[in-house]
Amino acid sequence: MTSVISNEELQLINLLEDSTGAKALDVVNNDDGVIFVVTQGELGKAIGKQGVNIQKLKKQFGKPVEMIEFSPELEVFLKNLFKPVAVEEIDSKEENKIVHIKVDAENKGLAIGRNGSKIKKARLLLKRLFNVDDFKIL
C-alpha cells in the first residue's frame, strides 16, 4: 500500500472504526461520495445488518457511502472492486504497472459505470493501493 492518508481521511477512518468496529485501510472522499477500503474479512461488520451502518454514514455525510473489501492480492481486490460484475480475466503487467480486465460484454456498461465512474474509482484505488499506472476494461 503506497497511499498517504491526510488528517481528514484519518478522521473519516476513525469515525468508521468507532461506529462499526471494522478496520479501514483507506478512504476516498470526493463529490461523488465516500469510499472505504476495509480490512479483509470485515466487510460484513462495516456494512452492518441490512446495511444499517452504511445508511447511518450516508445520512451523516450527506452523500453515498461505499465499502470495498481489501485483499493484498491484486486479482482478488479487482474482483471485490467490481462486484457484482464477474471479472472473467485479469492481465497484469508488472514492469509497466498496467492492468487490463475482461468482463462479459453484457456487463461491460455496469463495469464502466455512469460517465466512467467505476473506471475512475478503480484507477484511483489501484494507484493508491497497488501503484498501478494504467487500468482498462476490455
Residue indicated by cell numbers 455512469: 114
Q: Are residues 64 and 17 in the same domain?
A: yes
1-48 confidence digits (pLDDT tens): 556 788 999 999 999 999 999 999 999 998 889 999 999 999 999 999
For strand 65-69 and strand 87-93, is the pairing parallel, antiparallel, or unpaired? unpaired
Burial letters 30-60, b for 16+ CB under 10 A, else e: eeebbbbbbbeebbebbbbeeeebbeebbee
CATH number at residue 33: 3.30.300.20
Question: What local confidence, expressed as pLDDT, does residue 1 receive?
Answer: 55
Confidence of residue 121 (pLDDT cuts 50, 70, 90): very high
Q: Are residues 56 and 42 in the same domain?
A: yes
66-109 confidence digits (pLDDT tens): 999 999 999 999 999 999 999 999 998 876 689 999 999 999 99
Number of domains the chain is built from = 2
Residue that finishes a domain, picked among 30, 52, 69: 69
Residue 81 placed within a domain: yes
- Residue-range definition of the domain harbouring residue 17: 7-69
Cα 85 vs. chain centroid, distance in angstroms?
14
**What pTM was computed for the model?**
0.90
Residue that finishes a domain, picked among 69, 84, 119: 69
Residue 53 placed within a domain: yes
Residue 2 placed within a domain: no
Looking at residues 101-126, what average pLDDT do you find? 93
Q: Are residues 23 and 62 in the same domain?
A: yes
Looking at residues 112-125, what average pLDDT do you find? 92
